[in-house]
Structure 1
Amino acid sequence: MTFRPTDTLHTIRDFLFSKTNREFLIFLLFLLLSGIFWLMMTFNETYEKEIVLPVRYDNVPQSAVLTSGESDSIHVNISDKGFSLFAFIYSRDSHTIDIDFTKYALPDGIGSVPAIDLQHMIEQLLPTSAKITSLKTEKLVFYYNNGEKKKVPVRWRGHLKTDPHYFIAKTLIEPDSVTIFASREKLDSIHYVYTRELNYSDIHDTLIVTSELQRMQGVKIVPNRVKINIQTDVLTEETIDSIPVVGINMPKGKVLRTFPSRVSVKIVTGMKNYKAIMPSDILVVADYEQFKDETSDKCTLQVKKVPEGVSRATLNVKQVDYLIEEQ
């Protein structure tokens, strides 16, 4: 059988221009026309819309650092015909309010742009047919300094809850400190910055999150976000043996001997952490100041130091016999 394009064209023509299909095509045409008419009527009505206009500061001296305001924006309600409003909102042109820094900056590190000036700037950006119905800003305030800065540590804020069989072994913040720019008074009062609120539950594996730092008025933070690495470990209860007992606060020329001289300590920690712990990492002491006036021949022991990551440490014996020797 030979394929001929003319046969296909005849088939398509007969299908499209049959009586039933011709009526259906006419219906589609009128449906399209009515849709276009409805769309034109709809977009010809007046609408009100809230828009957000970003702010940009021009003519900023090289010696000045904006400590807030670089991310400022103005919320304004405008009304206009649908077509014009749609074209303005979705156009690719930059609708940015340009503010002359030198005109509005004051010597005390604060600048203020009155609402009447903001309204005039916004009107220059809008189509001629658009009207401002409300401006949600009484005035725009921005802050700057002349380069004063200092470095402060970062602290995370929030609540972390692990799976019952796990615990948080370590929390790393990268970077662990940031540079802040602000007035001298603010710099002196800020000792650290916080992350945004971080709340997580049922943690059983390493959790890595990126968080913005909490904003403060008149303060610029560089960088303004950090990466937080929350490392977990499986809880285990283990015993560390052969830990020497050390006498502290002993008088000059005297030495403490205990019997036994070494003890065991039961600890709760992570499995990874336990494998790295040595007896020398734990300090068990007998404080002479606590038993020098006692009549008992036993002294009380206490765990003075444990490695990082150990949540509980318990001695296998709390009191031991002792002898004080002259050196």
Structure 2
Amino acid sequence: MHNLSRFFKIVRNFLFSSMNREFLIFLFFLGLSGTFWLLMALNETYDKDIPVSIKLVNVPRNVVITQNMNDTIDVTMRDKGFTLLTYSYAGKIQPVTIDFERYANKERGFGRVPLSDLQRMIYSRLYSSSKISAIKSDSVTFYFNYGQSKRIPIRALGQLQTGRSYYISRIAFQPNYATIYASRQILDSIRWVTTEKLNLRHIEDTVSLLVSLRSIPGAKITPKTVRMTIYPDILTEESVEVPIEAVNMPEGKILRTFPSKVKVTFTVGGSRFRNIRPEQFVVVADYDDITNHPSDRCPIKLSQFPNEIRRPKLEMTQVDYLIEQR
């Protein structure tokens, strides 16, 4: 107790010594002048952007809002600093309510609030001294329908690059489809919905991630996010032997080639090669090519191959041939 009294005595003597007394007086007048300066500054007129909340009301139960309005709009107001400070930090501006029934165009499925109406509604919530200099919006627009919807597939959008010797064998989404709510005109024009733009590189293992679906003006998309799984596969070089078929042969003539089969090399995913069969390939020798460009050897070409393979190539592009008369 004695030590505490001694401590307070030391502090009192320090604060009220002649030097510190002058410092305290200086701080007092400094604070007083600062207060006067602040009061004078707040009494000046300024322009300031103030966010104003907006809300759609009286929406019928059978209506689906497919694209809502922004929650807030920025309004540039001119008034004394005191008033602007009240708007900014005291929450004095009540939200502007937009009556659905008044502004909805039920035939076209959208509603628009003109700038003049918006300004009038905001003025009704301001002090009489406040003036609106600008509204950062030409109009407030919302879209709706009466439950019309459509299930459409999802596609990936962006750059999806695999590592060397790999390719993307499959992309799966969970769920596989998205439901779109919009006007009939918009629904008829939509064939699929895409993800937001992606940029994935050096994919060599299975990748699974949550992705957002890209918004469509005037439409509501459900769900907003899906799980996308990317399945890469390693590329291998394989080959099959395919018989050479003659095409455009005149009646009574037979084309024989030597050899009768040719090897086709290609690259394919390791997991898909087991599904590749020689009969999925077609190699042809065209009689018209022989007659139009006479030669000792017959040109051949690959006219059909499976979609799963890449870079198909014939082992040879010309073969010996013989045309027989029946």
8 Å contact kept, 2:78–2:131: yes
8 Å contact kept, 1:53–1:96: yes
CA gap of 1:94–1:75, structure 2 versus 1, over 3 A, is: closer
Q: How does 1:116-135 map onto structure 2 within 5 Å?
A: 116-135=116-135
Structure 1 residues without counterparts, runs of 5 or longer: 251-255, 323-327
CA gap of 1:90–1:227, structure 2 versus 1, over 3 A, is: farther
User: Offset at 1:276?
Assistant: 3.0
Q: Which residue of 1 aligns with 2:113?
A: 113
Q: Which residue of 2 aligns with 1:59?
A: 58
In 1, Cα distance between the equivalents of 2:198 and 2:153?
A: 21
Q: Which residue of 1 aligns with 2:276?
A: 281
SS at match of 2:60: coil
User: Offset at 1:135?
Assistant: 3.5
SS at match of 2:62: coil
In 1, Cα distance between the equivalents of 2:185 and 2:76?
A: 37
Q: Which residue of 2 aligns with 1:240?
A: 238
User: Offset at 1:150?
Assistant: 1.0
User: Offset at 1:59?
Assistant: 1.3
SS at match of 1:188: helix
User: Offset at 1:138?
Assistant: 5.0
Q: Which residue of 1 aligns with 2:187?
A: 187
User: Offset at 1:5?
Assistant: 1.8
In 2, Cα distance between the equivalents of 1:55 and 1:213?
A: 25
8 Å contact kept, 1:301–1:320: no
SS at match of 1:62: coil
CA gap of 1:230–1:277, structure 2 versus 1, over 3 A, is: closer
CA gap of 1:30–1:226, structure 2 versus 1, over 3 A, is: farther
Structure 2 residues without counterparts, runs of 5 or longer: 248-255, 291-295, 322-326
Q: How does 1:199-278 map onto structure 2 within 5 Å?
A: 200=199, 203-204=201-202, 208=209, 210-211=211-212, 213-216=214-217, 218-226=218-226, 238-240=236-238, 243=240, 245=242, 265=265, 267=267, 275-278=270-273
In 2, Cα distance between the equivalents of 1:154 and 1:94?
A: 43
CA gap of 1:280–1:210, structure 2 versus 1, over 3 A, is: closer
Give the TM-score normalised by the residue count of structure 1: 0.70
Identity %: 33
User: Offset at 1:6?
Assistant: 2.1
In 2, Cα distance between the equivalents of 1:107 and 1:41?
A: 53
Q: How many residues align?
A: 305
User: Offset at 1:98?
Assistant: 0.9
8 Å contact kept, 2:297–2:319: no
CA gap of 1:10–1:212, structure 2 versus 1, over 3 A, is: farther
Q: Which residue of 2 aligns with 1:253?
A: none
SS at match of 2:90: coil
SS at match of 1:21: helix
Matched to 2:184, the amino acid is R
CA gap of 1:39–1:212, structure 2 versus 1, over 3 A, is: farther
Matched to 2:22, the amino acid is E
8 Å contact kept, 1:282–1:306: no
User: Offset at 1:292?
Assistant: 11
8 Å contact kept, 2:54–2:70: yes
CA gap of 1:59–1:293, structure 2 versus 1, over 3 A, is: same
In 2, Cα distance between the equivalents of 1:82 and 1:166?
A: 66
User: Offset at 1:118?
Assistant: 1.9
Q: Which residue of 1 aligns with 2:21?
A: 22
8 Å contact kept, 1:53–1:73: yes
SS at match of 1:154: strand
In 2, Cα distance between the equivalents of 1:320 and 1:279?
A: 29
CA gap of 1:258–1:179, structure 2 versus 1, over 3 A, is: farther
SS at match of 1:4: helix
Q: How does 1:128-207 map onto structure 2 within 5 Å?
A: 128-137=128-137, 139-158=139-158, 160=159, 162=161, 165=164, 169=168, 171-172=171-172, 175-196=175-196, 198=197, 200=199, 203-204=201-202
**Residue deviations 1:88-118 (CA, integer Å, cap 9, x gap):** 2233577422111122223313334333332
8 Å contact kept, 1:55–1:96: yes
In 1, Cα distance between the equivalents of 2:227 and 2:127?
A: 44
SS at match of 2:133: strand
Give the TM-score normalised by the residue count of structure 2: 0.70
Q: Which residue of 2 aligns with 1:305?
A: 306
Matched to 1:278, the amino acid is F
